[in-house]
Chain A
Amino acid sequence: MTTRSNALPTQEMTINMGPQHPSTHGVLRVILTTDGEVVTRAVPDVGYLHRGLEKIGERVTYAQFMPFTDRLDYLAAMNCNCAWAWAVEKLAKIEVPERAEFLRVIVSELNRISSHLIAFGSYTADMGAFTPFLYAIREREQVNDLFEMLCGNRLTYNYARVGGVSGDAPPGFLEKTKEFLDYFEPKLDEYNNLISYNKIFVHRLANVAVIPAEEAVAYGLTGPNLRGSGVFFDLRKDEPYSVYPKFDFKVCVGTGERGTLGDCFDRYMVRINEMRESIKIVRQAVAQIPDGPVLAKVPRVFKPPVGETYFRSECPRGETGIYLISDGSVNPYRLKIRTGSFVSMNIFEKITRGLMIADIVAVIGSFDIILPEIDR
């Protein structure tokens, strides 16, 4: 930008996209330095929701930590519950009954659907189309009803236990799940017709914040953010855990269909397509679920052997890795939770240079971050 020598001096504006903002998906503060509408620097400032979960983990027992994992990512609470349960079982080498594993997979995938629905709905609402958000909520209400039938809660479930799940599926649960899937599957095509391929929406998302595959890997992106850049890596397929090897589903990857590979539109479409694959998985799980107990015998005073383990599971927002150090006592010695959203914020400053303020909102939405996961 050339300036004449006697032009008015201009200054960059520092705006606070503060902790309270409708589009930052939580209490995220982004300090924008802008030249008019164009952002020259966007620095994320996290920590407004830091509750010291890792320190709390060192004071409670393994079983008592389960409700805390609900609050780690409250939109995908089942996934976090199961991740904690799997991590502790890997450490203590506990054998989980098969029915419990099937139930865990069913609820994890249903929660993936409801979490992606919120991601889809809030993203389109940020872009100005307020209607799909309400449709997503309507669908999500049905998933919440299913979960309420199963464990009594609609948001923070506390369903998994070390060694299984807390309760068996009541009669009628599996039939209702099938009904929901039959109802929901055509809705995805409806959403694609309504908003996903809408010209204005595509123009807002395509070619915005392109992340090439090598950078995505180097900056530690995981989950749909990584797959949106074209990298075929899904923990459920590549390092399978639980009963995932029994199911047949595709890994959804961004294809650069409406812009460059690795832009916001790809990350958005990966989530839409993942909902379809989750429907497939739940259908297969409901068909194949065996009978049996749902909770293994774990001693009341549970002391796992001394050792360290790192377990990672595919949560809707990325890879939730739990690094667990046990010193043989009832409380964990050190508990580190590595979440997809926290590591996604690493690349935020780099890719937002030169974007407009409206695009910052698009980028935050495409990463699908959630603050409790970042701040723990």
Chain B
Amino acid sequence: MEALAISLVNAVPLLAGVPLWTVTLLLMVVVAAVILVFALTFEGVGSLVLRKVAGDIQARIGPNRVGPNGMLQFLADGVKLVLKEDLIPASADRLLFKLAPYFAFVGSFAAFVVVPFGVGLIAADLNIGIYYVMAVTSLVVIGVLLAGWSSNNKWALLGGMRAAAQIVSYEIPVGMALIPAVLIAGSLSLQDIVRSQGGLLGIFGWNLFHNPFTFFSFFLYFTAAQAETNQTPFDLPEAESELVSGYNVEYSGIRFGLFFLSEFGDMFIVAALATACFLGGWNVPYFNAGALPWIWGNLLSLGVFLTKAFTMVLIMMWVRWTLPRLRVDQLMRMAWKYLVPLTFVNLLGVSLWLLVFQGKGIPGMIASLFG
């Protein structure tokens, strides 16, 4: 960001008198606004796509009244939520009740800044990228727990407790399953991880095909991430048919909207991380996007990245509408007895592989056979 600020000041003589930190700050705000717009648009359109995909799977049409083929439904929903009465239950804890949605939304939105959208398109290329994402998405737990507690409603409390247990338990497999990608790239920064999958191997440069352990850890990551984002089969905290919408039962209007949006935001983060760490990120196969002029290279890599990420989101929605829901003890058993040991074994496997084969993956070894 500093570099960008410096180049901007050099390019525009008008800003010569302004101190650098102001320009940097302004630039940060602009970038954050752009990402916010993207996030909100994705979250809105995502909710619409969810309903249309649900309709397709369930032999019905889905929303089709507002706009051509129902495409403006999310705008109508947004306007409706904003205009709703702001209800706070009389015996609820007012401060915590109002605070909870913000925790959830910030937790999901703050992770957007390290998502590598393209060759040069990343809001902040932190050198602790993955570590930062893991830390910041944990804020969602606090939000959900606060919501469940402050609603002063037994059903909300049950939902909040379940959510806390579930999200905290599944953070371990999620983190552990991402570490193989970090080990292969040798860096926590997401841009480095993506760049390590580029090169002449094309699709086979992806971490997914690097060695059997990373292949396996992709599926472990995806399963654990489905649980992190409260999607069926792990949607206990908001199980409609049991807890009557769980922790957000007392929320209405835009407060509910924030919870709702943060759910889709989390889905995108998870899909983006999966794409970046396992599916090659913004790498165009057999092509060096950095060689193109700045704008075309970025647009191309952005397109590739978004295609991959949206495909992963669609798969998450597909699984959501197909499978039934796990009971809470089965869910915890799955996390602690199955996913955690498996991810540890996986991690060990990847470490040993990298040690034995000096960091080369299977496609790399095959390619070096042929020169």
Task: Decide if A and B touch, CB cutoff 8 A.
Answer: yes
CA distance A242 to B256 in the complex (A): 56
CB distance from B260 to the nearest CB of A (A): 17
Contact residue among B158, B241, B321 (Cβ-Cβ distance under 8 Å from A23): B241
B323 at the A interface (CB under 8 A)? yes
Contact residues in B for A124 (Cβ distance below 8 Å): 324
Contact residues in A for B315 (Cβ distance below 8 Å): none
B54 at the A interface (CB under 8 A)? yes
Q: A22, B329: Cβ atoms under 8 Å?
A: no
Task: Known A21-B244, A128-B233, A358-B242; judge A200-B58 contact (CB<8 A).
Answer: no
Interface window among A129-137, A319-327, A334-342: A129-137
Contact residue among B162, B240, B324 (Cβ-Cβ distance under 8 Å from A204): B324
Residues of chain B in range 57-80 having any CB-CB distance to chain A below 8 Å: 57-60
Our count of residue pairs bridging A and B at CB distance below 8 angstroms stands at 80
Contact residues in A for B60 (Cβ distance below 8 Å): 134
Q: B242, A130: Cβ atoms under 8 Å?
A: no
Mark each residue of chain A from 1 to 28: 1 if its CB lies under 8 Å from any CB of chain B, else 0: 0000000000001010000011100000
Contact residues in B for A314 (Cβ distance below 8 Å): none
Contact residues in A for B329 (Cβ distance below 8 Å): 37, 356
Q: B325, A131: Cβ atoms under 8 Å?
A: no
Task: Known A23-B242, A134-B60, A361-B241; judge A200-B328 contact (CB<8 A).
Answer: no
CB distance from A360 to the nearest CB of B (A): 8
Contact residues in A for B235 (Cβ distance below 8 Å): 128
A195 at the B interface (CB under 8 A)? yes
A127 at the B interface (CB under 8 A)? yes
| Chain B interface extent, by class | 20 to 34
Contact residues in A for B105 (Cβ distance below 8 Å): none
CA distance A21 to B245 in the complex (A): 11
B327 at the A interface (CB under 8 A)? yes
Q: B242, A198: Cβ atoms under 8 Å?
A: no
Q: Which interface residue of B59, B60, B242 has the most chain A CB atoms within 10 A?
A: B242
Q: B59, A198: Cβ atoms under 8 Å?
A: no
Contact residues in A for B323 (Cβ distance below 8 Å): 128-129, 198, 200
A250 at the B interface (CB under 8 A)? no
B91 at the A interface (CB under 8 A)? no
Contact residues in B for A134 (Cβ distance below 8 Å): 58-60
A357 at the B interface (CB under 8 A)? yes
Q: B59, A200: Cβ atoms under 8 Å?
A: no
Q: A356, B327: Cβ atoms under 8 Å?
A: yes
Contact residues in A for B59 (Cβ distance below 8 Å): 134-135, 138
B346 at the A interface (CB under 8 A)? no
Measured CB to CB, the residues of B under 8 A from A are 54, 57-60, 154-155, 158, 162, 232-233, 235-236, 239-242, 244, 321-330
10 tightest CB-CB pairs across the interface, nearest first? Answer: A128-B325, A134-B58, A129-B324, A127-B324, A128-B324, A126-B241, A358-B327, A23-B241, A15-B154, A201-B324
Measured CB to CB, the residues of A under 8 A from B are 13, 15, 21-23, 37, 124-131, 134-135, 138, 194-195, 198, 200-201, 203-204, 356-359, 361
Query: What are 13 sample pairs from A and B whose C-beta atoms fall under 8 A apart?
Result: A37-B328, A126-B242, A127-B324, A128-B324, A129-B322, A130-B54, A130-B321, A203-B327, A203-B330, A204-B326, A356-B327, A357-B242, A361-B241
Known: A22-B241, A194-B322; 6 extra A-B contacts, CB below 8 A, are: A128-B233, A128-B325, A131-B58, A201-B324, A357-B242, A358-B327
